[in-house]
Amino acid sequence: MLTAQIIDDVVARALAEDAPWGDITSELLIPADARVEATLDAREPGVFSGAAVFEAAMRQVDPGIRVAFQLADGDRFEAGAVLATVDGLARGVLRSERVALNLVQRMSGIATLTAAYVAEVAHTDARIVDTRKTTPGLRALEREAVRAGGGFNHRFSLSDAVMAKDNHLAVLAAAHGGDVTSALLAVRARMSHTTHLEVEVDRLDQIEPVLAAGVDTIMLDNFSLADLRAGVELVAGRALVDASGGVNLDTVRAIAETGVDIISVGALTHSVRALDLGLDVGFVPGTLATASGSTSPQPASS
């Protein structure tokens, strides 16, 4: 869950990275009392995500900056739409700008891509879910963006569920004389009753030994469409079926139509393109002094 504390921590680290000893450009060029009005503009269509993060970046630099959003996370927008307005002292807005944009552009890119996947499988019962292939330090933000796009989250971390993949099974089976069922039953006996158990297989003949251990979810990894359909029939509702591997916008519809319950898509976060958003700034009349002491509003663009 994306909490205010997580947002503040991420933003604080990003601001410290971007201006460790202040923004010397704005401090030298911009009068301390100059004010700006700015708009967060969409330069391409998409799905919005990151309002709280964008606002936090502005607020942490200057609590007096006011941000008003024209839409909510999860809302669609067209190119040219004004997504938010910003009003405040110029130095604060300019110092916040890059961090605020970087985060909201990435989150909106993830939400937009997720929505495209969700649309492809809308005629089925399959859920589009993310993976742990996230940007280090930004997982909570990126997974919030997946939800804004209509997707769902897989386990958040290694601490949240037992998920035995091929390398785990190789070691585990060796320790139990090759008997995967017994190995998994031993694991289940040590687990809390509230902990979810998912096991990955890459062949049809692995399904029954895994199901015999009473797993909650079975992941069919890099299966062909024919084998996915056969796997779903073999599982027959005894566990949730999670499909992974080879998933993209060209293949996800056919994968969903095999009857799987879950489709894990690493691309939602590990290779997404940031959406093209911009902060267009204009000075407020009467707040920028010229050398002669008069005022002259000057439009500016980031």
Q: Which residues are catalytic?
A: 98, 133, 165, 200, 221
Largest CA distance in the chain: 88
Q: Tell me the helices (H) and strands (E) count for the chain, helix number first.
A: 11, 12
Distance CA 295, CA 253 (A): 60
Query: How many other β-carbons are positioned within 10 Å of the β-carbon of residue 267?
Result: 17
Among candidate residues 13, 56, 100, the one with its CA nearest the CA of residue 281 = 100
Q: Which amino acid type is present at position 294?
A: S
Query: How many other β-carbons are positioned within 10 Å of the β-carbon of residue 262?
Result: 20
Q: Which uninterrupted H or E stretch holds 54?
A: helix 51-61
Please check whether residue 138 is in contact with residue 161, taking contact to mean a CB–CB distance below 8 angstroms.
no
The residue written with tokens 């998994």 in the block is 184
Q: Which uninterrupted H or E stretch holds 197?
A: strand 197-201
The CA R_g of the chain, rounded to the nearest whole Å, is: 25
The residue written with tokens 């004010």 in the block is 35
